[in-house]
Amino acid sequence: MTRSEHTYPGDVRELYERFPYPLPTSAAEPIFDTAIGVDLAFHDLDGRRVLDAGCGTGHRLVALALQFPDTSFLGLDFSSRSISVAEELAGRYGCANVEFVRAEIGGTPLGRRFDVITSTGVIHHLPDPAAGVTWLAGHLEPDGAMYTWFYHLYGEYDRLLERRLIRLLADTDGDVGRLLGDLKLSLSMVRYGSDTSHSAVDDEAHLAATADAYLHPIVNAYEFDAVPGLFAEQFPWAVVTGVNWPDGSGTINVADWSDTGFGVITAERLFAEPGTRAAFLALDPRAQLHCLELALRPTGFSVVCGRGASLGWCTTRIQQSVALANLCRRGGA
Ligand SMILES: C[S@@+](CC[C@H](N)C(=O)[O-])C[C@H]1O[C@@H](n2cnc3c(N)ncnc32)[C@H](O)[C@@H]1O
C-alpha cells in the first residue's frame, strides 16, 4: 500500500478507484464462475442483450462474453479505473460483443432495456439495495431475468466484525494499511470458492481483495430469507441457485437432493448420518434451504429471479426450483 492509499476510503466509488476489483490488471485471466452459473441458469441466450451492472475490471464479464459469443453485453460501472482495465481486457480477448458505459446504478437511467441483468457482488454495496434492484428492474424487458450474487451473513460474520473493528480504529488512527497489518487481516483468495476463480494473484490483486473485504464503506450480508425483501416488489419469482464457502462452491437442486451431477450439493454431503438426513429430506423445500445455509454457513450465494415469460428460457433446474422453493411466493413454497 502506498502512502496515499493508507487512509480509509471516503465512499464506495473512491474505494474502487483506488482498488479496482476483482483484479487490477488486464494481464490476469478472465474468471469463469459467473459464466458457469449463468450457463446453468439460462438456455437460449443467443441474440439476447445482457447488462452486467457493476462489472468492475470485467474479468467475469469477459468470461461471459467468451462463453456466449452470440449474446451482446454492456458492462456498467462508476469506477473509471475499473472500466479502463475492463476495456483493455475485452480488447485483449478480442470480444466484439462487449461495450462499456461509465454510469451509476441509481443514477440517470440508461434509456435501454436488456433481457438479462447480471450483477455480482454489487447490490450489497449500494446505500439502498432494494432501491438499486428497482433501478435495475427498470432496465429489464418485461420478460427479463436477473442473475445476482451476494455475501452470506453466516459465513461472513467474522469478517464483518473485523471490518467494523478497523472502521472504529480508523476514526483515531488514519493509517489503515498499518491497522490491517497489525490485526493480521488479509483476505484469503479462496474465500468465495476455489483458487481457479482467481488466477494470476499478485500482491496488488491481493491488496485489492483485502481492501474490498475490510475497508468497504458499505457492506450488507444476507440470509436466504432476505431475498423477498430485495426482489419480491419487482419479480414474481426468485430462487437461490448456488452457494460458496472457503475453497468450495456448489449448485442447489431442491428437486433432487440425491443429484450427483458435478458440483451439486447432495443431502449426503450436508448430513452424513442417515437419521439426520431423513429428517432433512422430510422438510419442505424452503426449510431444507434454510438447513443448508445453517449447515454450510456459506460466504456467498447466487440468486436468479425473473418475470414474464423469462422462466420459459431458464433451465429445468431453475424451473423446478421456482415450483418448489420460490422465495418471492408468500406463505412457503
Ligand atoms: C465487488 S466489485 C464486483 C465486480 C464484478 N461484478 C465482479 O463480480 O467481479 C463491485 C463493483 O460495483 C461497482 N459499483 C458499486 N456501486 C456502484 C454504483 N452505484 N454504480 C455503478 N457501479 C457501482 C464498483 O465500482 C465495483 O467495480
3-class SS letters over 125-163 = HCCCHHHHHHHHHCCEEEEEEEEEEEEEHHHHHHHHHHH
Q: Which residue has the cell 433451465?
A: 315
3-class SS letters over 63-74 = HHHHHCCCCEEE
Average pLDDT over residues 282-286: 97
End-to-end CA distance of the chain: 49
* Pocket mutation for ligand 1, best pick of 73, 78, 98 (most atoms within 8 Å of C-beta): 78
C-alpha cell at 83: 472500466
Q: What is the pLDDT of residues 127-163, one digit of tens each?
A: 999 999 999 999 999 999 999 999 999 999 999 999 9
pLDDT-based confidence at residue 167 (cuts at 50, 70, 90)? confident
Q: Whose CA is nearest to atom 19 of ligand 1?
A: 105
Q: What is the pLDDT of residues 33-50, one digit of tens each?
A: 999 999 999 998 999 999
Residue 189, pLDDT > 50, answer yes
- Which residue, 38, 23, 21, is CA-closest to 242? 38
DSSP 257-317: TT--STTBPPHHHH--SHHHHHHHHTS-HHHHHHHHHHHH--SEEEEEEE-GGGGGGB-HH
Residue 176, pLDDT > 90, answer no
DSSP 3-state of 183: coil
C-alpha cell at 40: 446453468
Planar angle of CA 103, 105, 108, nearest 5 degrees = 65
The predicted model scores a pTM of 0.95
- Specify whether the CB–CB gap between 63 and 30 falls below 8 A: yes
Share of the chain above pLDDT 90, in %: 74
C-alpha cell at 112: 435501454
pLDDT for 177 = 83
Domain ranges of the chain: 1-245+299-328
Under CATH, which number does the domain 1-245+299-328 receive? 3.40.50.150
Q: Which atom of ligand 1 is nearest to the CA of 149?
A: 8
Distance CA 273, CA 322 (A): 29
The binding-site residues of ligand 1, defined as CB within 6 angstroms of any ligand atom, are 12, 16, 21-22, 54-56, 60, 77-79, 82, 104-106, 120-122, 125-126, 212
Q: Which residue has the cell 479505473?
A: 81
Q: What is the pLDDT of residues 217-260, one digit of tens each?
A: 899 999 999 999 999 999 999 999 999 999 899 999 999 999 99
Residues with Cβ within 8 Å of residue 320, at least 6 apart in sequence: 253, 254, 255
Distance CA 127, CA 106 (A): 10
- Specify whether the CB–CB gap between 122 and 105 falls below 8 A: yes
H or E segment and range at residue 55:
none
3-class SS letters over 227-250 = HHHHHCCCCCEEEEEEEEECCEEE
C-alpha 332 – ligand 1 centre gap (Å): 33
C-alpha cell at 327: 422465495
